[in-house]
Amino acid sequence: MSAPDDRSLTETGLPPDGTGRVLVIGCGALAHEILALKRLNGWNHLDLTCLPAIWHNHPDRIAPGLRTLVERHRAAYPTILVAYADCGTGGGLARTCAELGVEMMEGPHCYAFFEGQAAFAARASEEIDAFYLTDFLTRQFDAFVWRPLGLDRHPELAPLYFGNYRSLVYLAQTEDAALDRQAAACAARLGLAYERRPTGYGDLAAFLAGRG
């Protein structure tokens, strides 16, 4: 797939003159968490721009979109980091990052790096029938899960989509009772057992720390 043109990549929050020394190109689903870590740690050397979160539903767009942003900003930043895991690109994102000489996070998806790669891998065999939510996906459950699957029109199809799942595991980045209730409601809508697992920011914090 050819790279999206500039009009398809609307960047928000990026200082026009690149005031930081490090540019983080992230998934839009991680923007809130990356900005929270920046505030908490005083990482004023980091700037952030994001690819659209909805591209998780179109992973073939991610690597070309990343290439567009790296080429757009390479001259302004000595260091560019990619706050993405593989995210369904089948290794395409890693190959693009290697070609462009930029560093990306390790792992198959954000669930793994929020919980921590080692901890997630250790649970993999016993949680093969688990459906995961993060803070972002809890907030955006209707937009990213319910409506794209057509369940807003045909909720009776939920058992067909989720019949092989046993539980919904909410990997919580923050202590937020309202989000907890919302995630529990999502589990109930899908007919799944509910577990809240506090993870904080996991490997994302370590990846960003000390860069630049």
* Residue 9 pLDDT > 90: no
Residue 131 confidence (pLDDT) above 90: yes
pLDDT for 7 beyond 90: no
Residues 19-48, mean pLDDT to the nearest whole number: 91
Do residues 162 and 190 lie in contact, with contact meaning Cβ atoms separated by under 8 Å? Answer: yes
- State residue 12's pLDDT score: 47
Q: What single DSSP character describes residue 3?
A: P
Question: Nearest Cα to 208, choosing from 37, 44, 11?
Answer: 37
Number of CB atoms found within 10 A of residue 166's CB:
12
Of the candidates 30, 33, 31, 29, the one whose C-alpha atom is nearest the C-alpha of residue 13 is 31
Question: Confidence class of residue 46 from pLDDT cuts 50, 70 and 90?
Answer: very high
Strand order in the sheet with 193-198: 130-133, 167-172, 193-198
Strands (DSSP E) found in 129-184 = 130-133, 167-172
Please report which confidence band the pLDDT of residue 168 belongs to, taking 50, 70 and 90 as the band edges. very high
**Per-domain boundaries in the chain:** 6-105, 111-198
One-letter identity of residue 132: Y
pTM given for the model? 0.86
As a CATH number, domain 6-105 is 3.40.50.11610
